A = this chain, B = another copy of it.
Amino acid sequence: MKLEEAQQKFIQGWGQLGASWGINRTMAQIQAVLLLSPKPLCTDEIMEKLQISRGNANMNIRELVAWGVAYKSFIKGDRKEYYYSEKDMWELAKKVSRERKKRELEPLIKILGELQTIEGSSEEVKEMNKVVKSAGQMAKRAESMLDLVMKLEEKVFFKWFKRK
């Protein structure tokens, strides 16, 4: 397989993965491009590689930087900003975990917390309280798992994990 073709496949696959995780497909593809590049890239190079507009590139690059999965880089004598990806997959996983926890788990836990005060004795109220309780329990457990992931080092985590 030729390099170009392989890169294209990787970029598509990574984009697809992002999309099914509720992450903008282009954002994930930019990340893939940065992952594959041995050196930082500027906006124009990314636009060229993915055939996208400046506005689109700019917005999604900034989002990647906000997530902490890409970084800015400056080259002396050049006014352009360059970008490179976090390449450590474990670090990447941790950053994504952190964002998703913030954006999804925490709002759910908050809502569930507010719902723990329903009064009444109808079947529906009982069912509500049961569901809220068990969902809250599950969410808290998921949260503490993510906390653990984010705290431990890769080696430690997987070594521990292998204890099965």
Q: Is the CB of B117 within 8 A of A13?
A: no
Is the pair B22, A19 in contact by a Cβ cutoff of 8 Å? yes
Taken together as a complex, chains A and B put the C-alpha atoms of A100 and B20 apart, in Å, by: 9
Taking the complex as formed, is A148 at the interface, i.e. its CB lies under 8 A from any CB of chain B? yes
**Chain B residues whose C-beta falls within 8 Å of the C-beta of A115 in the assembled complex:** 1, 6, 9-10
Chain B proximity mask over A117-158: 1 for CB below 8 Å, otherwise 0: 110101111111011101101100100010010000000001
Instruction: Check A10/B131 contact, CB under 8 A, given A16-B107, A38-B123, A124-B3.
Output: yes
Q: How many angstroms between the C-alpha atoms of A114 and B21 in the bound complex?
A: 23
Given A20-B103, A22-B20, A131-B35, answer yes or no on A161-B138 (Cβ-Cβ < 8 Å): no
Q: Beyond A7-B124, A21-B104, A87-B131: 13 further Cβ-contacts under 8 Å? A: A1-B115, A3-B122, A3-B125, A9-B111, A10-B132, A13-B108, A16-B107, A17-B108, A20-B104, A37-B124, A38-B123, A38-B127, A87-B134
- Is A93's CB within 8 Å of the partner chain B? yes
> Please, how many angstroms separate the alpha-carbon atoms of A31 and B35 in the complex?
38
